[in-house]
């Protein structure tokens, strides 16, 4: 019984972080599946830069809020897993099979980005002891 409470205190915020990441992906990127063909015949997309920036800002805000509440590990783990699951679900219909390369890159970027932001925010927290 003693182990149950600390585990739930970490799993809950991690699940919330993962859920926020999945919902943010769906809101910013999930609806845009079409590629844009320019006048010169080149193709871009399916995402515009503003969509990716919106996703990053939304996820970073969620990471900052989670870390500010004292759940640093949950912020990194939940965000990383949420982005990986969202990318995998969104790109799984890729016929080339290369979607896993993209998922791996999103996973690494999600981990590194959330870990760096977590370290910065955790360092700046006013209730953080100076010596651990």
> What value does the mean pLDDT take over residues 1-16?
74
Q: pLDDT tens for residues 102-112?
A: 999 999 999 99
Residue 36 phi/psi, 5-degree rounding, is -100, 130
Least confident of 21-25, 32-36, 90-94: 32-36
Binning pLDDT at 50, 70 and 90, where does residue 4 land?
Answer: low
**pLDDT (0 to 100) of residue 48:** 85
Cα 56 to Cα 54: distance, rounded to the nearest angstrom: 5
Binning pLDDT at 50, 70 and 90, where does residue 131 land?
Answer: very low
> What value does the mean pLDDT take over residues 115-131?
80
**For the chain, domain boundaries:** 4-124
Please give the C-alpha separations between residue 75 and each of 24, 35, 105, in angstroms, as whole numbers: 15, 33, 19
């Amino acid at each position: 019984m003693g182990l149950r409470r600390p585990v739930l205190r970490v799993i809950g915020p991690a699940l919330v972080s993962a859920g926020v990441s999945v919902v943010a992906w769906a809101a910013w990127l999930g609806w845009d599946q079409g590629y844009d063909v320019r006048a010169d015949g080149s193709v871009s997309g399916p995402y515009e830069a503003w969509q990716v920036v919106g996703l990053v800002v939304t996820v970073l805000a969620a990471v900052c809020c989670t870390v500010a509440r004292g759940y640093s590990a949950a912020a990194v783990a939940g965000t990383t897993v949420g982005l990986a699951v969202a990318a995998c679900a969104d790109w799984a219909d890729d016929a080339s099979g290369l979607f896993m390369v993209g998922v791996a890159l999103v996973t690494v970027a999600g981990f590194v980005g959330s870990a760096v932001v977590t370290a910065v925010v955790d360092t700046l927290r006013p209730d953080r002891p100076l010596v651990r």
